[in-house]
Amino acid sequence: MKEIVKILRYNPQVDEKPYYQEFEYEYREGMTLLDVLNYIYEKVDPTLSYSYCCRNGHCGLCGVTVNGKAVLACKTPASPNSVIEPLKNIGIVKDLVIDRDEYERKLPKLRLFLERQWGPDYEPEKIGMVEFEKFKVASRCVQCLCCVSVCPEYRKNPHLFDGPMAYVLEARHYYDPRDELNRSIIFFNSQGIERCTECGLCSKVCVHKVDPAGIIKSIKNANK
């Protein structure tokens, strides 16, 4: 069965502005959006640019906006007459490829590694179940940037507010009882976490149920 998909195209080297292009593809039962993009690239237009690697929700590279919703293309079923656009709030390299470097430039200042001067007093080192559970949930983040693309506060103030993904990555270390850095200072002094309005949009789009809004709220409450 033939279906139609509309894709926002943009090559900053040659196009004055983005434009929509329609493609026809052969629909198969169980097809994902990533299968549709692969079909178009392989059989219709090899100039189409998009990103992916794992095909299974783990690499975080295939985020796109479909019919206005931020999703992972490899985990989203294809549906008739979809409109596919790049993730929002982030610059475009070409077509559906976003400029991940633009966001990732924020990350080195966050010291996203275990900060610890001394080793444990005894081994194996024990970590409480409550802290471990919080650490585990934050560690599910695959850095897909879907949450950043829907965050209204990041859209307004990208230089004053680091966005939900950065807070989730920092939270992994904040919840890790082995970490010795005062991460509250980073959250509040350089990341602008207090600007989060707790609208919850970031949590709604997270495929891995990380709940960035819940994590941000609990950090804000713990530091009141």
Comparing CB distances to ligand FES, the nearer of 138 and 145 is: 145
Comparing CB distances to ligand FES, the nearer of 99 and 179 is: 99
**62, 92, 141, 168: which one contacts ligand FES (CB under 6 A)?**
62
Contacts for 155-159 with beta carbons within 8 Å, 24 or more apart? 155/88, 155/89, 157/192, 157/195, 158/89
In the complex, least distance from residue 215 CB atom to ligand FES, rounded to whole angstroms: 21
By DSSP bridging, strand 82-85 and strand 2-9 are parallel
Comparing CB distances to ligand FES, the nearer of 141 and 219 is: 141
Comparing CB distances to ligand FES, the nearer of 144 and 166 is: 144
Name which of 128, 131, 202, 137 is nearest 169 in CA terms. Answer: 137
In the complex, least distance from residue 33 CB atom to ligand FES, rounded to whole angstroms: 10
Site string (102-141) toward ligand FES, x via CB under 6 A: ----------------------------------------
* Phi, psi (rounded to 5 degrees) for 98: -95, 160
- The interaxial angle of helices 129-138 and 164-174, nearest 10 deg, is 150
Q: Does 144 bind ligand SF4 (CB under 6 A)?
A: yes
CA distance 209 to 15: 37
User: Which secondary-structure segment (H or E) carries 134?
Assistant: helix 129-138
SS3 176: coil
Comparing CB distances to ligand FES, the nearer of 62 and 110 is: 62
Q: Does 97 bind ligand FES (CB under 6 A)?
A: no
Contact 186, 110 (CB under 8 A): yes
Applying CB under 6 A, the span of 42-50, 51-59, 161-169, 180-188 interacting with ligand FES comes to 51-59
Q: Does 201 bind ligand SF4 (CB under 6 A)?
A: yes
Residue 74 contact among ligand FES, ligand SF4, none, beta carbon within 5 to 8 Å by kind: ligand FES
Q: Does 62 bind ligand SF4 (CB under 6 A)?
A: no
DSSP bridge partners of 54: none
